[in-house]
Structure 1
Amino acid sequence: MSATANPPLPPVLAGPLLRRLQPERLVLWLVGSRALSLRLQLSYGEQGQAPEQRDHVLDDSQCRVLQVGEHAFVHLIDLQLDSPLPCDVRIDYDLLIASADGPAQGIAEWAPHLLYEGAARPNFVLRARLDQLLHGSCRKPHHPAADGLLCADRLLAQAHEPEQRPALLLMSGDQVYADDVSGPMLRAIHQLIERLGLFGERLEGALVEDSDALYAHEVGYYQRAELLPALEHNDSLRERFFGGVKKPIFTTSSADNHLVTLAEMLAMYLLVWSPTPWTLLGSHRPQLDAERARRYESERQHVEDFRDGLDRVARALAHLPSLMIFDDHDVTDDWNLSAQWEETAYGHAFSKRIIGNALIAYLLCQGWGNDPQPFAEVLQRIEAMSAARDGRNHIDSGAQDALIDSLLRFHHWHYVLPSEPALLVLDTRTRRWRSERRRKRPSGLMDWEALCELQQALLDHRAAIIVSPAPIFGVKLIEAVQRLFTWIGHPLMVDAENWMAHRGAAQVILNIFRHSRTPGCYVVLSGDVHYSFVYQVLIRHRKSAPHIWQITSSGLKNEFPPRLLDWFDRLNRWLYSPRSPLNWLTKRRRMRVVPRIPSRSKAGERLWNGAGLGQVFFDEQGQPKEIIQLNADGSAPVSFVEDRDAARHAAQQAQAGGALTIGDKSAR
């Protein structure tokens, strides 16, 4: 059935999502089924007093509308305010949609699921300082675990006072899994593409001519690895890149349903941010053989459970400002892992298109809302690409490839929030420190120039929160395993991506922490690894050394294999105990890492394995005063508490060698 024969579409398909909110600037994101005429209303005031009202009709300069389908329009709202909004006050807001045949409709009419009980409008709070925040990563829809973003909704339902509200939600990577998609999710994506008329494209260098042929291809479900750029027919290239192993460019082990087209990736975002698109879909499954049909049915319940929680996820995202950064699965597994990976992937027209499509979708659905200013020129290119369509509604390949080339040269995905403490979000994917002599070795997560820029941004701040998708201070045993596989020539087998894997990047980032003019307190927030842990890091034999905290929360909807993680945890404690000589073989030998223990640890485990969301509370100096993991399954939260034996040992070393003790809170 064609899209035109279906019932009318709702005006808003996804959103609004609150993105970067500051007293003088409000950034919001939504997707409509048509270009919407919007009016933003704000209301706030002290209890018992008449509220102050603001009414902003959003013109073209304040609301950028980008068409991505016949019935799909991304609305990027960036409202600069003449007078700033107050901090630490609840601000009610509404987005009114003008109608040609009736009164304007507000959120209560077109998205009542976004309202908490008893509320007539959604609201937000602009916190004067980052005294608490939420953070997490790795949200895979078909994973059996519950969705960690539901923790944010439960928290907001109870946080009635402005001072109880987290300042923001930080999502530190893998908000979507473009490279690991279940059959039911891919079916939903294809149905949504048809329903909304998302634009198609030609596919140069592929086994299929265009997106229409891809969606109809017999290997379109659970066999997409056969369509992806592969090296089977180029023995010399395979030998050079994979050491003779028959392996495709796209190295994920879950590439059976790897997303390919821009339409697929945009549809995925709509389906993970909002419940509304799911109401537009049918329930019939594609034609599959018996084995794949069983797999499809086994995945269906997990996807349906994910879908059933999206009304509450959308509600949280409409009340809490969110900031994001990509990691590999937002694009593809092993993205830019090594110089050889880059040469091979970007040297093939089809693989380059897939990576570029993921970057375009990330820009529209995540990156722009973090900091709109750097993307002005890129958005013009997207407008030109969308306008240049043929009679089949396929976007122009030349314009699409030119846009992708510009994005691969783009180096402003990182951003800084001018907050207290300062917040710096790192791009650890596109500015890699490549190995020039051994091109298949893992690249450094940031190159020398990017790290110098980071140091400049940190100068003279008293405290800083750094968002690094991969932990800077990780589990030593797991890093040692990755180093072993790299040494024998197989870094792709273990995703050997950590800060210590590249000597140059490791030395520079550790030197930044030791610099006399960089902050006296660092909090590093990370994800990626599918387990959670907290380390306090001390620099040995330094009287004025900074406080450094590594806080990792992962995943939002993903977990590490439990038995394997138990073994890693246990062996890591044995092999890298405080007195172990192995510590002096690591690049962090000048630093002492003191783990915190999960409060529900049964046998001294340092790693917490469970889907959920991290919550951190900060004191006036910008140091964490409480670190919590909220569990997606609804069980009691986990606090990361001090290991008294490790703390006592660290204090003894400090007294002997002059290092800073854990309890020292003196200003630098």
Structure 2
Amino acid sequence: MNYQSGDEFLQDMPLLLAGPILQHIDPESVTVWVALKMPCQVELKVYDTTNDGTVLGNSLLEGRRSTVALGKWLHVVAVTTQSIGRNFLESDRIYAYDLQFTNDNSEQTLQQALQSNRFPTVDISYFAHQKPTFVLPPSCVEDLRIVHGSCRKPHGHGFDALPVLDCLIESTANQPRKRPHQLFLTGDQIYGDDVAEPLLWISTILGDALLGWEERLPVTQKQPTDVAYYTPKQLPPGQRANVATHQAGFTAGLHNKVDKVTSHLLSLGEYYASYLLVWSPVCWPVTFPKGKERMGTRKASQRWDRQVREMQQFIHTLWKVRRAIANIPMYSIFDDHDVSDDWNLNQAWCLRVLGQPLGQRTVQNALLAYAVFQGWGNTPEKFAKGESGEKLLAAAQDWSASQGTDSAADNAIARYVGMPAINPHTNLPEFIEDGSVFVLKRHPEALTWYYTIRSSCHEVIVLDTRTWRGYPADKKTTAPPMLLCPQAFQHQLSLPLQQTSEIPVTFLIAPTNLFGLKVIDWIHHWELRRDKVFATDVGDAWNIHSEALARFIITLFEQRQQVIVLSGDIHYSSVIRLSYADTSSDFAAKSVLVQLTASALKNEETITRILHTRLKEWLLPEKIRYWIGWSHPPDMVEKTARHSHDVSAKHLVTLHSQPPREPDWNCALEWIPRQKTYVSYFGANVPWLITAKQKAKNDKWRWLQRLMFWKSPWFQDGREVVGFNNLAFVHFELTPSNSYKVIQDLYWFSSWYPTQIVYSRYESELVPNHSLFKS
């Protein structure tokens, strides 16, 4: 099979290039997303089951929708069911679904659409009937199971942790109260920057083939003789640093990090291809060219071959990822790498990137790909007839049909994905005022990426902290922003919280951490003083902008006393508990926020592996931290070891409130300790993880593991974070005091026996720690 000839390669592919992916579900509707190589009408049927999911029953919900032609070989649809009569889905029951594909009077079943000569058998179900299944969230909080994770880079170090989800579902597939109910991906599902050279090679060829045409990427002509555009193939792997940094303005390559942008995604086809490649094994080539055939130097050749090995391991377990996300509702939100590193980090980034034609085009391409591959399934109602999403899909079809020449379609895409207006005189993005900050100006019909999910036992409020940032109007353009501007606080937090108050558990999805390691805070403040804000993502941390964090805490605790935050982004996992006390109640703690962090799915680093060990707690242990705060206007300040635990420390009050005012509230932050590591009941020795050849090699050198002190279970049992690739499994227990305890089990691959899945448990009661406020 010749991967270089895209058309020939795709002709040999099965009808289904990616999917089915189960997305938004509720008692009245089910949404399933698929990517096909041919236009089809897709019919979705949802069935009741009996005998613990083994026997199909009656059809309860049905829906059909035609695919959207994103390119010659790429036709995508998220089909949503409507109820038949008054059939509604219930908790604690297993349901199955099936798909039928109709094209030019020919029909294919789901199994037929999955198969080809290269893929003669595809396992997409956990039952003999071979239908994907799912369950709705349960009626009791004690039975609720949530899975989350972030940051999945195909060539990142270590094994991909997302296939562990397949193990979790498989082991409980016939138990509706024990199998995972929802999956939340909290950012960096793909990487627009920091792309492996072999991955860009694939993405470019596949992307152009999917579209059936080559995109003309605009560049700035400084001289009349300069080229007006590049095609993706004219910007080969390893040679995009100058264009990405100076023509598109991206900051990922600044501060001696040029390797991050040498293979940056730019074209629409490349972003489309990246999604197909991270969710399905179908479009990957059987073999890769050798580094010496593609690269000009020995070092570059070795890097290519190393990245190929990493991706081959990634591909080896993709079948488990594909099966898992067909059998659990998957919800997502973007972070920065889904577009490019530091996306909308501060006002300077917006002016630098969105003020250049290639920067605008690339961001728009990334947002369109996100809308079609993720946003559609998250909020299918926004893509219904007459809505902005449907108009976006029509514009995307027109843009592709014109081979990228229809300016009206281009403008429509920009409008509906929320690209900011560009000032015709300055060619810079326009901002509008929102209180004391500037916000990117967008069209009123632009899609919004935040949303809320509710069941009888929980609610999930998913935030968009990337496109609704507030940039300080009275500070320099590199100043850290409010991650949510005032109007975003109202629409994304206040209104959803006011809609109901009877939900037992409230989850909040915040792609970036509210609180992190103390050493990271030090680094951020140090880099901010040096104005090196693009070096360490200064501005993405909530506590860099104290007024915004204070407003966030106040807004939450005005409506809820118990909040669980799910976040990722930082390549390590942990659990933190924040106890909150209102000064009007004699400092009696009354509210609690528990932050559950899970990262990375596949992007562990040397520093995170060190943080994972006991060395971190020996050298830099995380201590209890205290803040005092004011509500009008919102602000907060951390108390250091020099300050008394008396929250009315006079010098703090005088410094942070003029005229001096007593604080309205205080809060205390503690790190929940990581418990001893255990081997998972399904992970003693997993045969699917590596090839037989790799296993033989591992077994040969297994005796050496015992001589490596730093790989021993004892040394790896740090008390604060999990720094290896991991996946989080969240569940609850009812305590004797009739309150809930939230438990986060983090699954990762042991260092002492790499084909072993282990887990580290964190437990935190959903009540504030009153002892932290005692004198």
Fold match by TM threshold 0.5: yes
Q: 5 Å matches for 1:519-558? A: 519-540=560-581, 542-543=587-588, 545-558=590-603
1:418 equivalent in alignment to 2:454: yes
SS in 2 for 1:19: strand
Counterpart CA distance in 2 for 1:472 and 1:608 is: 18
SS in 2 for 1:276: coil
**What corresponds to 1:23 in structure 2?**
27
Q: Report how far residue 552 of structure 1 moved.
A: 0.5
CA contact (8 A) 1:523 1:623 kept: no
CA contact (8 A) 1:206 1:227 kept: no
**TM score, norm. by length of structure 2:** 0.75
Counterpart CA distance in 2 for 1:165 and 1:321 is: 12
**What corresponds to 2:546 in structure 1?**
503
CA contact (8 A) 2:219 2:247 kept: no
**What corresponds to 1:464 in structure 2?**
506
Q: 1:143 aligns with which of 156, 174, 185?
A: 156
CA contact (8 A) 2:42 2:101 kept: yes
CA contact (8 A) 1:522 1:547 kept: yes
SS in 2 for 1:330: coil
SS in 2 for 1:113: coil
> Tell me, which stretches of 5 or more residues in structure 2 are unaligned?
116-121, 420-441, 627-638, 646-651, 657-662, 678-714, 751-755
Q: 2:132 aligns with which of 118, 122, 129?
A: 122
Q: Report how far residue 388 of structure 1 moved.
A: 4.4
Moved more, 118-127 or 265-274: 118-127
CA contact (8 A) 1:230 1:249 kept: no
1:132 equivalent in alignment to 2:145: yes
SS in 2 for 1:636: strand
Q: Percent identity?
A: 25
Q: Report how far residue 320 of structure 1 moved.
A: 0.7
Residue identity opposite 1:151 in structure 2: V
Q: Report how far residue 168 of structure 1 moved.
A: 0.3
Moved more, 197-206 or 32-41: 197-206
SS in 1 for 2:571: coil
**What corresponds to 1:638 in structure 2?**
760
SS in 2 for 1:363: helix
Residue identity opposite 2:593 in structure 1: I
Structure 2 CA distance for partners of 1:250 and 1:469, relative to 1, 3 Å? farther
Structure 2 CA distance for partners of 1:342 and 1:102, relative to 1, 3 Å? closer
**What corresponds to 1:443 in structure 2?**
481
**What corresponds to 1:200 in structure 2?**
214
Counterpart CA distance in 1 for 2:448 and 2:747 is: 32
Q: 1:594 aligns with which of 666, 670, 687?
A: 670
Residue identity opposite 2:760 in structure 1: V
Structure 2 CA distance for partners of 1:231 and 1:568, relative to 1, 3 Å? farther
**What corresponds to 2:242 in structure 1?**
226
Counterpart CA distance in 2 for 1:527 and 1:564 is: 18
Q: Report how far residue 594 of structure 1 moved.
A: 2.0
> Tell me, which stretches of 5 or more residues in structure 1 are unaligned?
233-237, 658-668
Q: Report how far residue 93 of structure 1 moved.
A: 1.6
Structure 2 CA distance for partners of 1:81 and 1:252, relative to 1, 3 Å? farther
**What corresponds to 1:185 in structure 2?**
199
**What corresponds to 2:110 in structure 1?**
106
Deviations 1:98-136 (A, max 9, x none): 366766423366252313364422211112346110000
CA contact (8 A) 2:45 2:81 kept: no
Residue identity opposite 1:548 in structure 2: L
Counterpart CA distance in 2 for 1:36 and 1:24 is: 25
Q: 1:216 aligns with which of 233, 248, 257?
A: 233
Moved more, 276-285 or 139-148: 276-285
Residue identity opposite 1:10 in structure 2: P
Q: Report how far residue 435 of structure 1 moved.
A: 1.3
Q: Report how far residue 144 of structure 1 moved.
A: 2.1
**What corresponds to 2:518 in structure 1?**
476
Q: 1:52 aligns with which of 36, 51, 57?
A: 57
Counterpart CA distance in 1 for 2:473 and 2:220 is: 30
1:266 equivalent in alignment to 2:272: yes
Q: Report how far residue 402 of structure 1 moved.
A: 4.0
Q: Report how far residue 429 of structure 1 moved.
A: 0.4
Q: 5 Å matches for 1:367-378? A: 367-375=375-383, 376-378=387-389
Structure 2 CA distance for partners of 1:389 and 1:86, relative to 1, 3 Å? closer
Deviations 1:370-408 (A, max 9, x none): 1122343243234234324577x3453552244224422
1:627 equivalent in alignment to 2:638: no
SS in 2 for 1:305: helix
Structure 2 CA distance for partners of 1:590 and 1:92, relative to 1, 3 Å? same
CA contact (8 A) 2:214 2:231 kept: no
1:165 equivalent in alignment to 2:279: no
Q: 2:464 aligns with which of 427, 431, 434?
A: 427
Counterpart CA distance in 2 for 1:403 and 1:103 is: 32
Structure 2 CA distance for partners of 1:315 and 1:341, relative to 1, 3 Å? same
Counterpart CA distance in 1 for 2:373 and 2:75 is: 12
CA contact (8 A) 2:41 2:66 kept: no
Deviations 1:344-371 (A, max 9, x none): 2111111111111111111111111111
SS in 2 for 1:573: coil
Deviations 1:543-573 (A, max 9, x none): 3612211110111111242366367655542
1:287 equivalent in alignment to 2:325: no
Question: Higher relative CO (CA 8 A, sep ≥ 6), structure 1 or 2?
Answer: 1
Structure 2 CA distance for partners of 1:45 and 1:315, relative to 1, 3 Å? closer
Deviations 1:595-636 (A, max 9, x none): 111123757531221111111113578944322101156432
